[in-house]
Amino acid sequence: MIEQDQMRPLQKFSFLPLDSRVQQIFSFPVSVFVEIFSLLFLVRSQLVLERQKDLDRHRHKHR
């Protein structure tokens, strides 16, 4: 019984750093992906705006 009781805190302790590592590993890419997606979205919206401007210019030229 005593040995088991001694083992439990050790297991908990050994799992804690691993958990924090896993959290770090998973939280890092998520933030990076969010940044990348936001950047992509900005670029895409900018491109769409430019395209609309070009279309407007072409329409004006055709008139």
The structure tokens listed for 55 are 């279309």
pLDDT class of 61 with cuts at 50, 70, 90: confident
> For the segment 7-50, what is each residue's pLDDT rounded down to a tens digit?
555 555 555 566 676 766 666 777 888 889 999 999 999 999 99
**Residue corresponding to tokens 């936001």:** 38
* pTM (whole model) above 0.85: no
Domain limits, the chain:
12-63
